[in-house]
Chains A and B, each alone.
Chain A
């Protein structure tokens, strides 16, 4: 019994740590990519050679590679957490990013947040809270399944 409780705790702990990393890496990666793209200035799409010059600039930019690295690490965390946790749990939990982006915009940049968006943010946070009340894993692990 004790062992079950402690393994449930470990499972919860590692799930939340990885979800936190995932959300952090995903948001930071996206922001860095956005920043990198903006630092390049608007890409000229008028001629094909200009587009290819754009591609060259994009992939020789350190900031963009940093963003790509963050996104790759995000993917690694995503894969690892899915090796035990439910997809429906991970998918819903990571939706918190959609609330964080406008929220951080409000806190850091003082952006105006209209009423509909405020309600939306509250709903997302509440939804994630509900999901966190459910167990991260509801299926049997493969090793147990083959034994049964």
Chain B
């Protein structure tokens, strides 16, 4: 059984890898020139092909499994057995790559696979370098499996540092730095509890501020809720804007352009429609701008409740994301902002050209933070996380939007997306547990992962963010990691995203609507 399993694994992953490589190279087209410069250009072009990376992954896994097989069986068995790959390769070429295999080529397949089996079935001199390589690579897997564990520990420590400092600061801290604020809320439809979310912004203990809402048209279901808000809070200047002309593919940024024009005050605080905040929220946000080196402010967030399994997974996802954000903050400073809060002064916004350059960007909040950081300003976090209403989504919805996020990340920050490899705790732990020399060692790997992961999740989510869902469902974290790993793999091969009912492809972070692409492009 074990033999059949490893053999099929070696053969299938190897064949799929070779077929992906062929597909990637066929996408580039026939190489006509062979000067070093021309070859370098082809190689650089090939590195941008998703299929090439899939091929590298599959071939790497296949080669490693081949080495594993060599460590279990003699070469006189392994090489003949894997000659089966000629048959699967020919089938793959015919059905997947649409190559035309004539009777003569099929005869070649038969002769060669039989020939390899016969020529190598007798005891041959062993291949010592392959056997050694297996053991050396196994050590490398063990070391790599330590990386996500170190990452979890580090993110727990970063959370402990951040929240301890934030709470110490909150005690007895009275601020007098309160510039007038314009709160900008782009809306699209209605979230559960929308009125209460909006009302929390009307109950701010802050001297001068206004709230601007923007919708695409008067029929948006959010309009009556905003009108009610205007009636209920007559002392707060609240305006509802209708942004009728579509300026770019990112609808939210279109609304932000309009609101920024209409805003009366120098400090802009943008939040998603499903965010609820405490009465001293604006004070905490504004106070950070006392330091002139700060260019933008963003906020971590916690779930208010999670009505479905999909929403619970989403909460685990935001817990992981908060951990990564806190690690990034410790290592290089934040270089992005989040939809939960993006606060920026009009002056800094003008320095990066306003919102207009982000009109076609998929990850607009990420881009805004990145551009601010590029100008040499700091992006800071509000000490207290805001609350967010997670939608009652199904698991399928959750997987889809996480995939969309990962695809977006791959386009705006390919290195960071690839680097997620070293944070895939569950995958590395399983690999290390399989390769471990004894059951005890395997159990040690699994226990180390579970203990460290749950401990860091507790520090970030329960102690730091004070997330009520994480408190009850922390044990779902490893399951989230498993979903996350598979989504990460899938995100290498997908370029299309669906957003608010429209389909887009991404090119360098820009959303290109699929419908408007020229034929044959």
Contact = CB atoms under 8 A, between A and B. Distances in A.
A124 B100 contact: no
Contacts of B79: 98
Interface string B103-145: 0110111111011111111101101110010011001100000
B235 interface: no
A146 to B, nearest CB: 5
Contact of A139 (B46, B99, B112, B128): B99
A124 B119 CA distance: 9
Given A76-B39, A130-B105, A131-B105, A87 B22 contact: yes
Interface residues of B, number: 58
A79 B109 contact: no
Given A86-B93, A134-B102, A138-B100, A55 B139 contact: yes
A82 B25 contact: yes
A12 to B, nearest CB: 13
Interface string B19-48: 101100111111100100001001100100
Nearest to B112: A127
Interface string A65-90: 00000000000101110111011110
- Closest 3 CB pairs between A and B? A120-B119, A127-B111, A123-B115
A138 B128 contact: no
B89 A87 contact: yes
Contacts, number: 175
A114 B121 CA distance: 11
B18 interface: yes
B135 A51 contact: yes
Contact of B111 (A45, A91, A130): A130
B277 to A, nearest CB: 52
A138 B105 CA distance: 12
Given A37-B129, A98-B116, A121-B115, A116 B122 contact: yes
Given A37-B128, A55-B136, A142-B26, A92 B122 contact: no
B94 interface: yes
Chain A CB within 10 A, most for which of B25, B83, B111: B111
A34 B111 contact: no
Given A83-B29, A130-B108, 15 more contacts: A38-B129, A43-B132, A55-B136, A80-B31, A80-B34, A83-B28, A87-B22, A87-B92, A88-B89, A99-B115, A123-B114, A124-B112, A124-B119, A139-B99, A142-B26
A146 B520 contact: yes
B22 A51 contact: no
A116 B86 contact: no
A123 B120 CA distance: 12
27 contacts: A33-B129, A36-B129, A37-B128, A38-B128, A82-B25, A82-B26, A83-B25, A87-B93, A88-B90, A92-B108, A98-B79, A98-B120, A114-B122, A116-B121, A120-B120, A123-B112, A123-B115, A124-B111, A124-B115, A125-B115, A127-B111, A127-B115, A133-B104, A134-B104, A139-B99, A142-B26, A146-B520
B98 interface: yes
B101 interface: yes
B128 A92 contact: no
Interface in A12-41: 14, 33-34, 36-38
B86 A120 contact: no
Contacts of A139: 26, 97-100
A127 B104 CA distance: 9
Interface of B: 18-19, 21-22, 25-31, 34, 39, 42-43, 46, 79, 83, 86, 89-90, 92-94, 97-102, 104-105, 107-112, 114-122, 124-125, 127-129, 132, 135-136, 139-140, 520
Contact of A99 (B119, B121, B129): B119
A82 B22 contact: yes
Contact of A123 (B19, B118, B128): B118
A43 B115 contact: no
A125 B118 CA distance: 13
Given A55-B139, A84-B30, A120 B117 contact: yes
Given A79-B25, A88-B90, A120 B97 contact: no
Contacts of B136: 43, 51, 54-55, 58
Contact of B135 (A43, A92, A120, A142): A43
A117 interface: yes
A108 B86 CA distance: 29
Contacts of A33: 129
Nearest to B137: A55
Nearest to B105: A134
Given A37-B132, A87-B99, A102-B124, A128 B119 contact: no
Contacts of B139: 48, 51-52, 55
Contacts of A138: 99-101
B118 A119 contact: yes
A82 B23 CA distance: 9
B89 A91 contact: yes
Contacts of B128: 34, 37-38
A95 B112 contact: yes
Q: Give the interface centre of B34, B105, B108 by most chain A CB atoms within 10 Å.
A: B108
A139 B30 CA distance: 12
Contact of B118 (A45, A82, A116): A116
Nearest to B100: A138
A142 B98 contact: no
A60 interface: no
A133 B121 CA distance: 28
A69 B383 CA distance: 52
Contacts of A122: 115
B102 A95 contact: no
B105 A88 contact: yes
Nearest to A43: B132
Contacts of A6: none
Contacts of B101: 88, 138
A83 B520 contact: no
A91 B294 CA distance: 58
Contact of A131 (B93, B108, B115, B118): B108
